[in-house]
A and B are shown apart, each in its own frame.
Chain A
Amino acid sequence: MIVADKKPIEEIIDEIKEHERILILGCNECVTVCEAGGKKEVGVLASALRMYFLNEGKEVKVDEKTLERQCDHEYLEEIRSMIDQYDAVVSLACGVGVQFTAEKYHSMPVYPGVNTCFMVVTEERGLWTERCQGCGECILARTGAICPVSRCAKRVLNGPCGGSTDGKCEINKEIDCAWQLIVDRLKALDRLDDYEKISPLKDWSTDRAGGPRKVIREDVQQ
């Protein structure tokens, strides 16, 4: 999933202080799981903003709505009939949702309510760690299903580098060396021979190096 972190309320207030009718728009997917932009966080932010504006002596309408997703047309359509009641939207979805909301409602200012981070697993409640950078050409088959692109600081494809010490990465002793993990895992799979195989140069054009990306699937297109 995608993890996002809450933005400080001060920052959000600063973004929206000129507006008088504000919709706080949450998303039921990743940002709900990471407790940054689901229905509850929408409620907390909206309540805090209503109190803030009242305390400032300003009459500002702050409403709440949470959609199933903000990255699909059909769910975003659900607010079409109500959007005219507002002069700004604060989206608590990831950056994808913020942008898609803005694309759909072109003349409506849309502000981000969270900082979108990266693709993660939930290791435990309140701890999310990166596993994938969406490089567009998955090499996990060769690396014992441990990704050196997202988990090695240098994205080394034939590692480890000279900085790997006691299983930890040279950039930070708290971080496991991805290549140590890969070797350990290949050993457990009895596939250490694979480690001897030199990875060819990776085609980075499918990563961000090729500019904004798209996936076209004609087989599922209508």
Chain B
Amino acid sequence: MRLAYPTSIKIIRVPCTGKVDVLYFLRALEKGADGAYAVGCMEGDCHFNSGNLRARKRVEQVQKILDTIGIGGERVQMYNLSSSEGPLFAQYAVEMDERIRKLGPNPIKKHKKKAA
């Protein structure tokens, strides 16, 4: 399909979104990512039954933590699509890119630079 999506997005492949842990998101943000999102299969369609449902719960946990520490929970999201929906994948990428641009850079980065 050769669909275009924002170059700001770096894809990390996992066998199932059930593999994505709270720590993965936190480490990404701690290392300076401005946002992170998981793209799982449609709810009810998980090959491992509940991987994507677990991922959603974990995303919600991360959002809560980020809100608490003042980084902003919105920087982390969960999306669902089926594997044949390439255009939707690109659309979600654009959506996420726009969301993060609106929020601005990860606030810890400016302090990190100062500390370095």
Contacts and interface: CB of A to CB of B under 8 A. Distances in A.
Interface in B24-71: 26-27, 29-30, 65, 68-71
A54 B23 contact: no
Contacts of B22: 40, 44
B30 A55 contact: no
Interface string A1-31: 0000000111001000000000000000000
Q: How large is the interface on B (under 10, 10 to 19, 20 to 34, 35 or more residues)?
A: 10 to 19
Interface in B63-93: 65, 68-71
Interface stretch (A45-53, A101-109, A148-156): A45-53
Given A51-B29, A54-B108, A10 B68 contact: yes
A162 interface: no
A43 B21 CA distance: 11
A200 interface: no
A51 B30 contact: yes
A52 B71 CA distance: 8
Given A40-B21, A51-B26, A57 B68 contact: no
A72 interface: no
A101 to B, nearest CB: 24
A55 B69 contact: yes
A57 B110 CA distance: 9
Contacts of A57: 111, 114
B34 to A, nearest CB: 13
Contact of A52 (B27, B69, B115): B69
24 contacts: A9-B69, A10-B68, A13-B69, A40-B22, A43-B23, A44-B22, A44-B23, A47-B23, A47-B27, A48-B65, A49-B69, A51-B30, A51-B69, A51-B108, A52-B70, A54-B111, A54-B112, A54-B115, A55-B69, A55-B70, A55-B71, A55-B111, A56-B70, A57-B114
A55 B23 contact: no
A84 interface: no
A59 interface: yes
Contacts of B107: 55
